[in-house]
Amino acid sequence: MAKQIAALAATALLLSSRTSSLAPPDAPFVNSRRSCLRKIVSAAGAGALAAPPVASAATQLDVGDGQGLAVVTESSIGKAFRRQIVRGAQVADKLDEKWERVSDGLRDKSRCDPNTNRRLYDNGKRRDGTSIGNPGLGELCTPEPLKPLDTSLVRDMLSLAEKSALGVSPGVSATALATKIQETKGLVRPSFDRSLENASTEDEKSRGLSNFELYATLRSINAQLGGSKAATRAFQLAWGKELIQSYAPNANRDDFVTPFPEKVEEELSDVDYDKNSLLDALGKLTVFLGKMKSGGVIGYSELSIPYDDYGSVVTVALDDYSPIGAEILLSEQGLGEGPMQAVLRALLADAGIRGELSTFYIDPSTTRQEAYRPTQLLLSANSLSKI
């Protein structure tokens, strides 16, 4: 049964998300459309089977030595429980398939948003002719070629991460951190080497190795910081500041680029924070992301202040985000966040703005479970207000 549950869990991740304040959380939050469906199914089926869960059943039955959970799983209760699990999974699968057909059907392959160059979701029209819902962040109508990865850029970013970690944790020496990174590399390298066997080009191999370096470095930093929330927050802010100072030190509001420039003034007309400070921060972010694009770390970036959120939300979409594999692993294991989150946190803090930061890993081309492969990093800074 454990294998059945593990198999079901392995297919559950369609969209991984992490939501926290602009101070890092203690543990990751992973949610998905499928997990929501499972909750609905579980609630609906709760009354159909009046049996205790496996854990409590194991304590209520007299299980002799050497039998373990076998008595439970082979008992009438255990068999009934397994049947209910299977039925629930079948219902979830049917709901999933229907959602995939509807959701993918809403992606109009012939229509593009002229502002964002993205596929539109046709959610239908109201009687007055206005559209229902907002367009989703679909795939780019005209994809921009991903430039070859500049491995020296990645190394420099990781060097700044190590420098920042040492700066916020005086008790950790450079030698100790370097030793920990090498230990971690030795531990996880076999898994990454297996994934590199499918690399067909040198650039693909470079990206796989860079994911390996990022994962090992950030995992080691997290270990050296001892999981301290305060230390982790200080590290992220310090790393973000170092990255901005290195790649966009003189940028300001004049450098800010968004698909909806005409909406900016209107959206920021009634905020309690300094709107010019936010625009300066977004200008720095625009320049920083431009450097990341030139170095092949991302393929395309889109910054926006969504309409009708009155300046309380800023979104950052990064297509063809190279380190996404390593970051998903780090997020699932509660081992920290990547450079983009660090930069956004540092910029907002420097602008005197607080709020919540949500991270999403998205496949903008489909919602079909068997074809889902996240390539887009979507950051949403919301509930923004003055510190």
Cα 45 to Cα 27, 53, 76, 117, 274: the distances in Å are 30, 13, 18, 44, 51
Neighbouring-strand partners of residue 21:
356
Instruction: Tell me which residue of 353, 222, 220, 217 sits closest to 285, measured CA to CA.
Output: 353
Between 346 and 34, name the one with better pLDDT. 346
Neighbouring-strand partners of residue 379:
316, 359
Between 106 and 139, name the one with better pLDDT. 139
At residue 296, the pLDDT reads 98
At residue 75, the pLDDT reads 46
Residue 226 pLDDT more than 50? yes
Residues 292-317: pLDDT tens digits?
999 999 999 999 998 778 899 999 99
What is the arithmetic mean of pLDDT over 198-222? 95
Residue 160 pLDDT more than 80? yes
| Weakest mean pLDDT among 26-30, 51-55, 178-182, 183-187 | 51-55
Q: Torsions phi, psi of 76, nearest 5?
A: -60, -35
- Cβ contacts of residue 337 below 8 Å, gap of 6+? 18, 24, 236, 327, 330, 331, 359
What is the arithmetic mean of pLDDT over 342-358? 97
Q: At what angle do helices 174-196 and 151-168 cross, to 10 degrees?
A: 140
Residue corresponding to tokens 């390996």: 212
Confidence of residue 129 (pLDDT cuts 50, 70, 90): low
Residue 132 pLDDT more than 90? no
Mean pLDDT taken over the chain = 77
Question: CA-to-CA distance for 123 and 133, rounded, in angstroms?
Answer: 7
Confidence of residue 259 (pLDDT cuts 50, 70, 90): confident
Confidence of residue 263 (pLDDT cuts 50, 70, 90): confident
Query: Ramachandran region of residue 104, left (φ > 0), alpha (ψ -120 to 50) or beta?
Result: alpha
Residue 86 pLDDT more than 80? no
Cα 218 to Cα 45, 106, 221: the distances in Å are 42, 39, 5
Q: Parse the chain into domains and list their residue ranges.
A: 2-8+35-121, 144-386
At residue 130, the pLDDT reads 58
Between 84 and 319, name the one with better pLDDT. 319
At residue 149, the pLDDT reads 98
Instruction: Tell me which residue of 271, 249, 257 sits closest to 387, measured CA to CA.
Output: 271
Question: CA-to-CA distance for 232 and 83, rounded, in angstroms?
Answer: 44
Residue 190 pLDDT more than 50? yes
What is the arithmetic mean of pLDDT over 144-166? 97
Spatial contact of 140 and 282, defined as CB atoms under 8 Å apart: no
At residue 122, the pLDDT reads 53
Residues 357-367: pLDDT tens digits?
999 998 887 76
Instruction: Tell me which residue of 330, 245, 312 sits closest to 27, measured CA to CA.
Output: 330
- Cβ contacts of residue 216 below 8 Å, gap of 6+? 181, 184, 185, 188
